Amino acid sequence: MYALISILIALTTLVVLLRFRVKIGIAMVLAACLLAVLLHVWPMDMWRTLVTEWREKPLTRTTGYLFVSLASLLLLVNVVGAAMEEIGLTRRLVPAMQGLFKSRRLALAMIPLLMGMLPTPGGIMLSAPMVREAGDRIGVERSRQAAINFLFRHQWEPVWPLFPAVPLIQSMLGISALTLFCYHIVFTGTGVLVGMIVLLMFGIPPRRPEHEHAKRHIGHHLIDFLHAFWPIGFTAVLYVILNVPPAVGILLAIFGLLLFHRVPLKRWPRLFKAACEPDMALLIFGALFFKLNIEAGGAIGSVVEFLTSIHVPLPLLAFMLPALVGFATGVTMPTVAMTYPFLIGFIGTGAEAKMGLEALAFSGLLFSLWLTPVHLCIALSASYFNTSLLKIITKLIPPAVGVAVAGIVLAVFFG
């Protein structure tokens, strides 16, 4: 009970600090520090946790590696945006997307939906410059831009096998990939459908003359689109095929972009100054620090013990446990790793697995991840789109409720 209250106090403090317009990076660090004090996590406890994960986890899942790779990626994305603007690609991007997709609304959604297949933490920032440019040209309010980018970026997470949580669930339950896909695809379909209704059908200004794209052959639109999209696609291909860290891939893409368009060397330093965003680095540090405190303080085990001691009904427990852990950590794979071993005893394995109950658990995870202020992607969206974090979360409530209802329906009919 104490661990749960401590987490809630830290999260409430974060929200209050943001309401008082404290910079999001500083607010995240302060909330993480408060959680460390409440959970009695001292420097030696943190050191032991870091040493343990260094010994037992792959390098790419250690806190130090995540901080360096995420900070580098997110700061370099700013450089990509500055370089595209300098070269003039951003001015050609919106007409190209409208020419290809024949719809301003579809154009806004398709970029994050395509880039959502790149399973990298903080990958939301890869599509953010394109969505912001398109949204500003159309006149879409910034919080709606951020919500569109976030929601459609996360629609592949339940089914795309490159997200580690998908094969992890499959292996733990001993089920086929097709079985898991058939249940989880409901969440992707629900998220896209509700997102289209609440984010794209409303809040988009009427088409004005300047929104009309020139009557050009589709090949011209495709060339303009590829000119702007190739740095992101290049990063994705390197990551998926060669396992090159996204930060390295985006750096190589920046050099390629500047060299291909013959940007003079004397203009490069000014472009790279776009990476000087200390608050973004603080934000990543604070989010990872928050997660580290939860692990070092043994908070997850305490929360599980408390919920079982008060005899929470099984369907409610299946939904609440991933939801609480997901809300506290803001990350998918660790939440699955922490909660599913406990839930397997109720869900079952192999042919006997109650997939409706598993779907309910995963819907609880998605529900919390789309609404928690400690989800790195939501926090980064608030910073990048220069909007209120709470405005973004408010717009994400209907899709989050939609996936929760989908999980309940699957549990009722297949649980």
8 A C-beta contact, residue 381 and residue 149: yes
Which is nearest to 96 in space by CA: 253, 275, 266, 229?
A: 229
How many of the other CB atoms lie within 10 Å of CB of 412?
11
Q: What is the pLDDT of residue 98?
A: 66
Q: What is the pLDDT of residue 414?
A: 84
- Residue in this structure with the two tokens 């920046």, named with its chain if needed: 254
Cα separation of 395 and 150, whole Å? Answer: 11
Give, in order, the Cα–Cα distances in Å from 137 to each of 32, 130, 207, 296.
Answer: 37, 11, 11, 46
Q: What is the pLDDT of residue 68?
A: 85
* Structure-derived torsion over alpha carbons of residues 157, 254, 392, 201, reported in degrees to the nearest 10: -80
Task: Tell me if the pTM is above 0.75.
Answer: no
Q: What is the pLDDT along the chain (415 residues), one digit of tens a residue?
A: 788 888 889 878 887 887 787 887 888 899 889 999 999 999 999 899 899 888 887 787 788 887 888 788 777 877 877 787 778 776 676 667 667 776 778 878 888 887 777 666 566 777 888 788 888 888 899 999 999 999 999 999 998 876 778 888 888 888 888 899 999 999 999 999 999 999 998 878 876 655 555 556 677 778 877 777 788 778 777 876 777 777 888 889 889 888 888 888 888 888 888 667 787 788 778 878 887 888 888 886 787 777 778 887 889 989 998 998 888 878 787 788 778 877 887 888 888 899 999 999 999 999 999 999 888 888 888 888 988 888 999 999 999 999 999 999 999 998 6
Cα separation of 266 and 261, whole Å? Answer: 14
Q: So where are the chain's domains?
A: 2-414
